[in-house]
Chain A
Amino acid sequence: MEQFDSPPPPGPFAPRLSSGSQTAPFRPGAYFYVAFFGGAIALGVVALMNLGRLSKVTNLPQKTYAVLALTAAAAVAFLLVAPEDLMATTRNVRLGLRMIAVAGSIALYRFHKGPALGALKSDGEYTSMWKAIGWIIAASIAQGLLVAPFVLART
Chain B
Amino acid sequence: MDPHLLLASQALDRGNGARALSHLDSVTDFSDPEVFRLRAAALISSDRFAEAEDSARRGLELAPGNRLLQMELARSLSNQDKNAEAERVLITALNQAPENLPLLTQYAWLLAHSGDAVGAHAVMDRIPGDVLNGHPSTLALQGYVALIEGRQRSARQFLNQGMAMDPESVSTRMLLALENSLDDKPRSSADNMLAAAMLDPEMAGEYGREARYIQHPLLAPARLIGRIGPAKLWLAFIVVIYLGPQVWPGIPLGPILVAYFALVIYSWTVPWLLRRWMIFRGQL
Contacts and interface: CB of A to CB of B under 8 A. Distances in A.
Interface string B104-144: 00010011111111110110000000000000000000001
Interface of A: 3-8, 12-19, 21, 29, 32-33, 36, 54-58, 95, 99, 102, 105-106, 109-115, 117-119, 121-122
Given A19-B85, A105-B231, A114 B147 contact: yes
A58 B115 CA distance: 12
Given A8-B122, A114-B152, 7 more contacts: A7-B122, A12-B98, A19-B85, A56-B117, A95-B238, A112-B150, A119-B115
B238 A57 contact: no
Contact of A17 (B83, B121, B235): B83
Nearest to A124: B210
Contacts of A5: 118
Nearest to B93: A13
11 contacts: A7-B119, A7-B122, A13-B90, A15-B84, A17-B84, A17-B110, A29-B230, A95-B238, A106-B231, A113-B150, A115-B148
A36 B147 CA distance: 27
Given A16-B87, A19-B84, A121-B81, A57 B147 contact: no
B216 interface: no
B20 interface: no
B234 interface: yes
Contacts of A115: 115, 117, 148-150
A33 B144 CA distance: 28
A6 B118 contact: yes
Contacts of A32: 230-231, 234
A57 B150 contact: yes
Contacts of B83: 17
B119 A36 contact: no
